[in-house]
């Protein structure tokens, strides 16, 4: 069974962390993944850096630019992950924009993911409709779960469509914003979380964008299965380094 689906069956609210591969240093990838697992993180999104990350705010943009400057590439990431399944058991997801994957070759990319033990993909600029029509069979062939985003503006009809073609979880973007631009959740978000919860979708939801501390994590997971922390984690890496991961993750597990 796919590790994502197994993990979703566990009772706890899931803590998922995003980081950009190749940042702060080129070869930090495995160290960061291992440290996250050791510190009780439930799931990891490994960011494949892109030169033009449309959906990301300045923190993830800057980490992507730095990672590319450090020399990160699709090939190198797969090299770094070659033996990852010997040391890490939690679900690993690659999050990246579509063009680098297209240049690698969608089928080759999926095949590589399966070989190194990646469980799913999040590709923000691959629309659900295009995926469904052209790429779904490839992802399924290699046992990969593709994860789609919904936002507060996504119509009810489209949420149902996305739920229909999803087979893991739905990535629920907390508000109309790029990553890292939130300052806490208000009534509007709560109403949205509740509205989606009440739709009784077949896929659980994990909230992302704007989760930065225990308070926002708790708010986000009141109705959802888990939450993803990205920009706040990258900021912590920037200022406090790889050794600070234990301290950073502790606050969410308390």
Answer yes or no: 42 catalytic. Answer: no
* 191 forms part of the interface with another protein (CB under 8 A): no
* Distance in angstroms (rounded) separating the CA atoms of residues 173 and 31: 28
SS3 46: strand
Q: Judged by CB under 8 A, which of 27, 82, 103, 240 binds another protein?
A: 103
Structure letter (DSSP) for residue 13: P
Least Å from the CB of residue 201 to another protein: 15
The DSSP line for 122-152 is E-TTS-HHHIIIIIHHHHHHTTPEEE-EE-T
Helices marked H in 134-222 — which ranges? 136-141, 156-165, 187-198, 214-220
Structure letter (DSSP) for residue 168: S
* 100 forms part of the interface with another protein (CB under 8 A): yes
Least Å from the CB of residue 218 to another protein: 24
Identity of the residue, 102 or 247, whose beta carbon is nearer to another protein in the bound complex? 102
Identity of the residue, 114 or 181, whose beta carbon is nearer to another protein in the bound complex? 181
Give, in degrees to the nearest 5, the angle at Cα 36 between 60 and 22. Answer: 40
SS3 17: strand
Looking at residues 157 to 186 of the shown chain, list those that interact with another protein (rule: CB under 8 A): 158, 173, 176-178, 181
Least Å from the CB of residue 109 to another protein: 10
Residues in the interface with another protein (CB under 8 A) total: 42
Tokens read off for 30: 């495995």
Least Å from the CB of residue 55 to another protein: 4
Which residues are marked as active site?
45, 56
For binding to another protein (CB under 8 A), which residues are involved?
50-55, 57-58, 61-62, 65, 68, 73-75, 97-104, 124-128, 130, 148-151, 153-155, 158, 173, 176-178, 181
């Amino acid at each position: 069974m796919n590790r994502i689906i197994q993990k979703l069956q566990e009772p706890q609210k899931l803590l998922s962390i995003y980081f950009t591969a190749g940042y702060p240093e080129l070869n930090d990838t495995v160290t960061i993944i291992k440290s996250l697992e050791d510190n009780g993180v439930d799931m990891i999104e490994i960011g494949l850096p892109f030169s033009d990350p449309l959906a990301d705010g300045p923190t993830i943009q800057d980490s992507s630019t730095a990672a590319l400057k450090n020399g990160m590439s699709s090939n190198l990431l797969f090299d770094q992950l070659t033996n990852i399944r010997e040391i890490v058991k939690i679900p690993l997801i690659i999050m990246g924009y579509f063009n680098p994957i297209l240049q690698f070759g969608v089928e080759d990319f999926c095949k590589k993911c399966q070989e190194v033990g990646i469980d799913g993909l999040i590709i923000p600029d691959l629309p659900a409709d295009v995926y469904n029509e052209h790429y779904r069979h490839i992802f399924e062939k290699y046992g990969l779960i593709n994860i789609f985003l919904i936002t507060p503006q996504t119509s009810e009809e489209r949420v149902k469509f996305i739920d229909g073609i999803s087979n893991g979880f739905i990535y629920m973007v907390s508000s109309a914003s790029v990553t890292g631009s939130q300052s806490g959740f208000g009534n509007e978000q709560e109403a949205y979380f509740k509205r989606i919860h009440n739709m009784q979708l077949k896929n659980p939801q994990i909230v992302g964008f704007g989760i930065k501390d225990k308070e926002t994590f708790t708010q986000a997971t009141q109705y959802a299965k888990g939450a993803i922390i990205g920009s706040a984690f990258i900021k912590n890496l920037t200022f406090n380094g790889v050794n600070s991961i234990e301290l950073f993750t502790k606050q969410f597990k308390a």
